[in-house]
Structure 1
Amino acid sequence: MRKYGIADTTFSRVNMASVAIETIKETDPGSKIERYTVPGIKDLPVAARKLIELGCDGVITLGWVGKTMLDKYSYLASSIGLITVQILTMKHVIDVTVHEDEAEDEDKLKDIAIDRTEKHAKNLVYLVRDGKEALTSFAGKGLRQGYKNAGSLD
Structure 2
Amino acid sequence: MTIKVGIADTTFAMVDMASVAIKTLNNMTDKIKIIRYTVPGMKDLPVACKKLIEEEGCEITMALGMPGKMDKDKVCAHEASQGLMMAQLMTNKHIIEVFVHEDEAKDGKELDWLAKRRAEEHAENVYYMLFNQKYLQKRAGQGLRQGFEDVGSALK
Give TM-score scaled by structure 2 length.
0.94
Does the Cα contact within 8 Å between 1:2 and 1:129 map onto a contact in 2? no
Deviates more, 1:69-78 or 1:144-153: 144-153
Give the distance between the partners of 1:59 and 1:15, measured in 2 at CA.
16
Does residue 7 of structure 2 align to residue 6 of structure 1? yes
Structure 2 match to 1:126: 128
Where in structure 1 are there 5+ consecutive unaligned residues? none
Query: What CA distance in whole angstroms lies between the structure 1 residues aligned with 2:103 and 2:35?
Result: 30
Counterpart in the other structure of 2:107: 105
Other-structure match for 1:52: 53
Q: Secondary structure at the match of 2:66?
A: strand
> 1:30 and 1:87 mapped to 2: Cα distance?
26
- Structural RMSD (CA): 1.1
For 1:60 and 1:134, locate their aligned partners in 2 and report how far apart those are by CA, in whole Å.
19
After TM superposition, the score normalised by the length of structure 1 is 0.95
Structure 2 unpaired stretches of 5+ = none
Deviation at 1:134, TM superposition (A): 4.4
Contact 1:92 1:124 in 2 (8 A): no
Q: 1:67 aligns with which of 69, 92, 113?
A: 69
In structure 2, distance between residues paired with 1:57 and 1:100: 30
The structure 1 segments of at least 4 consecutive aligned residues displaced by more than 3 Å after TM superposition are none
Aligned-residue offset at 1:125: 1.5
Task: State the identity %.
Answer: 50
Indicate the residue corresponding to 2:86 in structure 1: 84
Q: In 1, distance between residues paired with 2:90 and 2:129?
A: 18
